[in-house]
């Protein structure tokens, strides 16, 4: 989530993106198949409307909008093949299943131990949204859905999160502690809450204002929302609690 970009627009939902980090004993992927899947992921990202100039690549993933991750080994969702030029919503298939939304297991890497209070505060924000199935819990074992860790993401990028895949929450959150350490407690908590929002399918609320392509208005929750915690480009300066419309959108998507 980069700094110094103005905010405005509707709370929106995006496409699914990552497999859960908790899986083990997976069959090794041969290099050629891995390369082919990487090409499919890249093609899928571009099909969603993201220009090539906005896609960054590293060894294991593609990064768009600076804080959203597309693993190269992700399972590419089945798509209808139609271009998304006249609508901003990619479909209900991008949501978590009811069972998965009711128990999102978050494992905290030791590198994040200094921010346990902020993590718990972020969890409390999502768990206290009225009339929604979304519920996060911290786990310490080997089975989990989302892994949160400290990472050096470079100057100006405060955190990164992943979109869901196959009805499960996005499997990884990275927090740039070095970048947000000087922020207030409330702002550090905001960064974590924001990235958790990506893991349950939320796109940047101000996607249009900051030049991001295509997103879908959450049914029944229209209008602009300068107070949304899901606004991008506001690390250290944005809203520190879920807005009324953030809560309404969560309830609408996960009743």
pTM of the entire structure? 0.79
Task: Return the pLDDT at 25.
Answer: 36
Domain extent listing, the chain = 32-253
- Residues 237 and 45: their CA atoms lie apart, in Å, by 29
Which has more pLDDT, 95 or 191?
A: 191
Residue 140: is its pLDDT beyond 80? yes
Q: Which residues contact 69 (CB under 8 A, 6 or more apart)?
A: 17, 18, 61, 62, 63, 160, 161, 162, 170, 172, 174
Task: Return the pLDDT at 55.
Answer: 87
Task: Give tens-digit pLDDT for 18-51.
Answer: 323 333 333 344 445 556 788 888 887 777 667 7
Which has more pLDDT, 70 or 124?
A: 124
Interstrand relation of 12-13 and 216-217 (parallel, antiparallel or unpaired): antiparallel
Task: Return the pLDDT at 34.
Answer: 57
- Residues 66 and 36: their CA atoms lie apart, in Å, by 24
Please give the CATH topology (third level) of the domain spanning 32-253.
Collagenase (Catalytic Domain) (3.40.390)
Q: What is the mean pLDDT of residues 111-129?
A: 98
Candidate ranges 32-46, 154-168, 186-200, 206-220; pick with highest mean pLDDT: 186-200
Task: Give tens-digit pLDDT for 219-250.
Answer: 888 667 899 999 988 999 999 999 999 999 99
Mapping DSSP to helix (H, G, I), strand (E, B) and coil, where does residue 220 land?
coil
**Straight-line distance from the first to the last Cα atom of the chain, in angstroms, rounded to the nearest whole number:** 28
């Amino acid at each position: 989530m980069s700094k110094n970009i103005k905010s405005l627009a509707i709370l929106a939902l995006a496409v699914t993106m990552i497999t859960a980090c908790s899986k083990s004993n997976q069959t090794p992927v041969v290099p050629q198949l891995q390369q082919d899947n990487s090409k499919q992921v890249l093609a899928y990202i571009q099909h969603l409307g993201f220009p090539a100039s906005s896609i960054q690549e590293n060894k294991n993933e593609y990064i768009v909008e600076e804080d959203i991750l597309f693993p190269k080994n992700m399972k590419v969702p089945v798509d209808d093949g139609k271009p998304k030029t006249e609508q901003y919503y990619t479909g209900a298939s991008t949501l978590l299943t009811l069972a998965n939304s009711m128990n999102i297991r978050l494992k905290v890497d030791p590198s994040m131990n200094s921010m346990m209070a902020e993590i718990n505060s972020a969890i409390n924000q999502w768990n206290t949204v009225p009339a929604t199935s979304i519920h996060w819990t911290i786990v310490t074992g080997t089975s989990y859905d989302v892994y949160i860790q400290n990472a050096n993401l470079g100057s100006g990028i405060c955190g990164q999160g992943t979109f869901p895949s196959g009805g499960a929450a996005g499997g990884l959150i990275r927090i740039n502690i070095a970048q947000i350490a000087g922020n207030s407690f409330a702002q550090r908590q905001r960064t974590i809450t924001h990235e958790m929002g990506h893991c349950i399918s939320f796109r940047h609320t101000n996607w249009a204002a900051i030049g991001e392509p295509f997103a879908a208005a959450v049914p029944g929750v229209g209008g602009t929302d300068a107070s949304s915690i899901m606004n991008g480009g506001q690390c250290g300066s944005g809203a520190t609690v879920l807005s009324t419309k953030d809560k309404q959108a969560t309830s609408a998507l996960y009743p």
